[in-house]
Amino acid sequence: MTDIVEHQRLFIGGRWVEPAGADTIDIVSPVTEQVVGRVPHAVPADVDRAVAVAREAFDHGPWPRTTLAERVAVVTRVKDALAARHQELAELVTLQNGSPKLFSVRGQALSAVGAFGVAIAAAARFTEEDERQGTGGPVLVRREPVGVVAAITPWNIPQLTIAGKLAPALLAGCAVILKPSPETPLDALWLAELCAEAGLPEGVLSVLPADRGTGAYLVSHPGIDKIAFTGSVGAGKAVMAAAAQNLTRVSLELGGKSAAILLDDADLTVAVPAIVGGTCAANSGQACVALTRVLVPASRYDEVAAVLAGAFAGLKVGDPADPTTVVGPMVTRQQQQRNLDYIRIGREEGAKVLTGGGVPAGLTTGWYVEPTLFGDVTNDMRIAREEIFGPVVCLIRYESEDEAVAIANDSAFGLSGAVFGADRERAVGIARRVRTGTITVNGFRLDLAAPFGGYKNSGIGREFGPEGLAAYFEYKAVNLPAPEQN
């Protein structure tokens, strides 16, 4: 895929239409630093049009009034098309994101297929209404679609974050306006074609690539009933403030600074591959769930530091199209510079670079950062408290289990994490004490059948699994007459 991927029209309400503005967005390869794609830049007038057709589709159209089984059939066709063409999707994501090929297949394309699958499975078990006995008589509890959804997704893992919002919203009977990141919109427009071919009715889906200005207009629009956002903490706070003006429902999946706790009996042959997989190999470290704080008992610190540094140093960094590459470039030059700035800050704070610490030798074109492991980190350092979003990991000593839990919880975030130890019950006990939305014992996993989201600054609400589907419904209580009143 070497030619420029170009779209001249926007997808609004199921139709390809001329944009209201003349501006375009260039998509630049993180590998070659050359333009590889071009799409229209949506403006507020496009948002108004998308909201109008979405409102018509939701308020008067067939989609919310079809049966759940009928919606499942359409969404299943979308999922099946994704599965059949996942290699094509993976190539597109590698082109625009720079994700290593293996991760683009498994972590980008197939994870999106999986997210659609678990949403469909949850819908198959879902009941739109049920009757229960209330305090004054029978009550019919209905679950009705929340309405028009603004789904705003980030650049790092675009298809999975789209699927986590789009699949449950469509299954619930909502209309969706999707605003992908301006850095990586190609896969979203590609998905729009699949949805149209699957038979999604007109008005139900729009895709509007745009910058933050248009995004701000979208989330403040009075025609929106729910906002589903994935992105940074700062942007999430801005979304929540805008939504408050209209009391728009909000779900936010934000950042993380997750801790991996190695207990004193941890098996490094298990822990180290999981930590590598949950940091540098997870989209080149550009993942909100990354295990960026590794907590190690002081008695094993030197041993763990040597083994983990060796593992990081041995990772292949380079062309993401090469199937042997583990770490590709950062998505943008700005993100590369952010990582390099934090590496400089870590050195200034007194942390020791155990491996990495700069731009890989010979990779002067492309936005690469070496897998970097910092030792002698304390939890009050900026590199231990702020989300870096790259292949940069902190090694932190602790003296007792209580101190390890305290360090893990001493964070503004609470998104993911891991505990490693030979005694399963002991490790599970530690996991229960860490205030985080997802935590894995002796591994690193984001399970799409389970609720995903965070504590504290990591967000509000949950995605995936039945909890993710339930987030797109409103609940209505219909108080029924007592039997003798019938």
Is 270 in the same domain as 123? no
Q: Is residue 211 part of a domain?
A: yes
Q: Is residue 49 part of a domain?
A: yes
C-alpha to C-alpha distance for 372 and 390, rounded to whole angstroms: 9
pLDDT of residue 474 exceeding 90: yes
What pLDDT does residue 2 have? Answer: 56
Q: Is residue 273 part of a domain?
A: yes
Mean pLDDT score of the chain: 97
Is 374 in the same domain as 342? yes
Contact by Cβ (8 Å): 452, 463:
yes
Q: Give the total number of structural domains in the chain.
A: 2
What pLDDT does residue 388 have? Answer: 98
CB atoms within 10 A of CB 314: 11
What pLDDT does residue 485 have? Answer: 64
Name the percent of the chain lying above pLDDT 90: 98
Please report which confidence band the pLDDT of residue 482 belongs to, taking 50, 70 and 90 as the band edges: confident
C-alpha to C-alpha distance for 326 and 317, rounded to whole angstroms: 6
What pLDDT does residue 486 have? Answer: 58
What pLDDT does residue 96 have? Answer: 97
Question: Cα-Cα-Cα-Cα dihedral of 197, 201, 205, 206, to 10°?
Answer: 80
What is the domain extent for residue 376? 259-455
pLDDT of residue 1 exceeding 60: no
Rg (CA), the chain: 23
pLDDT digit string (tens) for 369-412?
999 999 999 999 999 999 999 999 999 999 999 999 999 999 99
Phi, psi of 244 (to 5 degrees): -60, -30
- Overall average pLDDT of the 445-469 stretch: 97
Q: Where are the alpha helices (H) located in 150-300, listed in sequence order?
A: 158-172, 186-197, 212-219, 233-244, 268-277
Q: Any idea what the CATH number is for the domain that residue 29 is in?
A: 3.40.605.10
Q: Any idea what the CATH number is for the domain that residue 409 is in?
A: 3.40.309.10
pLDDT digit string (tens) for 30-63?
999 999 999 999 999 999 999 999 999 999 999 9
Q: Which residues are designated catalytic?
A: 253, 288
What pLDDT does residue 73 have? Answer: 97
Is 306 in the same domain as 393? yes
Q: Which amino acid is at 33?
A: E
Is 323 in the same domain as 282? yes
Q: How many CA atoms lie within 13 A of 267 on its CB side?
A: 8
- Overall average pLDDT of the 3-20 stretch: 96
Label the pairing between strands 259-262 and 293-297.
parallel
